[in-house]
Amino acid sequence: MDSRSNYIQEKIKSSSGEAYIRKWVKGNFLGKGGFAKVYEFMNTETRETFAAKVIPKESLLKKRAKQKLISEIKIHKSVKHKHVVGFEHYFEDSSCVYILLNLCPNQSLNELLKRRKRLHEIEVRYYTLQIVSALEYLHKNRVIHRDLKLGNLFINEDMDLKLGDFGLAAKLDFDGERKRTICGTPNYIAPEVLEGRNGHSYEVDIWSLGVIIYTLIVGKPPFETSNVKSTYDKIRKNSYYFPEHVSISKEAKSLIKLVLNSNPTKRPTLEDIKDHQFLVLPSPPTLHPSLLACPPTKT
């Protein structure tokens, strides 16, 4: 492999108009998304490291792909919150666009759940409160995330949860605006998005939050089937159940049932969710990193 390809040069123009070069070294591969590959990038001067989303320009030839990236950057750049992946800055060279994000070295809840099979309710409470806090912030700023799922919820070195990937997010011009584009990830998509008739709004994120809570406690998503069409059928019919072999508290069941309401106007608000019995039970200020690897021993 050509070792020089691991060095990326960022051309910068200072406020006085002077041009200089910042050098980055490409390190570990972190993951792959729709058209991006994500790597660790280290600033050769300061030795600071970030997660860099690298998007080849050849994947941006179609107008739609380009617009999607511009929208992702515009929205992500405009938000800053303890539980949202920090957007550092972006730049481009002749071959790629690079988006520098705060590094979350502990991967996402998706990998965590694969290792752990399912989480204890106290952990689910800990993560849910952080997702709710991120959503409160986004919705107050008229941003709907629209792709809330385990794979977009990252864990940083302090075991803080960070919501990332604004590739499908929408910024509303006014609160009553309805969005019409069908988007989301099959297992997490809200019924009103599938129906499409009256458009959708903030409530789609609340629905996905319900899917997340269920999945973390039960170990698999509520509407999962072997194919997308029957998953969508199940979502439309609101057909899911709590398996008997998993012990689930009545508080958790009650919250999931309230949130997974087919009618978006009947779903609880984020305020209601915070006040629900499941979330007012004690929650730890932080989690021990050992919980990333092994299932907690039964007490």
Binding site for ligand ADP (CB under 6 A): 30-36, 38, 51, 53, 85, 101-104, 108, 151-152, 154, 164-165, 167
The distance of closest approach from Cβ of residue 151 to ligand ADP in the complex, given in angstroms and rounded to an integer, is 5
Closest CA to 217 of 116, 299, 140: 116
Residue 250 token pair = 């009545």
Q: Could you tell me where the DSSP H helices lie in 141-249?
A: 191-195, 203-218, 228-237
Q: How far apart are alpha carbons 45 and 47 in whole angstroms?
A: 6
Residue 10 token pair = 């960022």
> Among residues 101 and 135, whose Cβ is nearest to ligand ADP?
101
Q: How far apart are alpha carbons 298 and 65 in whole angstroms?
A: 48
> Among residues 43 and 283, whose Cβ is nearest to ligand ADP?
43
The distance of closest approach from Cβ of residue 35 to ligand ADP in the complex, given in angstroms and rounded to an integer, is 6
> Among residues 72 and 121, whose Cβ is nearest to ligand ADP?
72
Label the pairing between strands 7-13 and 19-32. antiparallel
Q: How far apart are alpha carbons 264 and 235 in whole angstroms?
A: 13
The distance of closest approach from Cβ of residue 257 to ligand ADP in the complex, given in angstroms and rounded to an integer, is 30
Q: How far apart are alpha carbons 20 and 23 in whole angstroms?
A: 10
| 53 marked as part of a ligand binding site | yes
> Among residues 106 and 260, whose Cβ is nearest to ligand ADP?
106
Phi-psi label, residue 9: left if phi above 0, alpha if psi -120 to 50, beta otherwise: beta
Number of alpha carbons in the 13 Å side-chain half-sphere of residue 45: 6
The distance of closest approach from Cβ of residue 31 to ligand ADP in the complex, given in angstroms and rounded to an integer, is 2
> Among residues 103 and 252, whose Cβ is nearest to ligand ADP?
103
Instruction: Give the DSSP letter of residue 244.
Output: T
Residue nearest to ligand ADP (CB): 33
Strand partners, 84: 163
The distance of closest approach from Cβ of residue 91 to ligand ADP in the complex, given in angstroms and rounded to an integer, is 17
**Catalytic member of 147, 158, 160, 175:** 147
Has 173 been annotated as catalytic? no
DSSP string, 33-82: -SS-EEEEEEETTT--EEEEEEEEGGGG-SHHHHHHHHHHHHHHHH---T
Residue 278 token pair = 């499941």
Residues tagged in the binding site annotation for ATP = 53
User: Catalytic site residues?
Assistant: 147
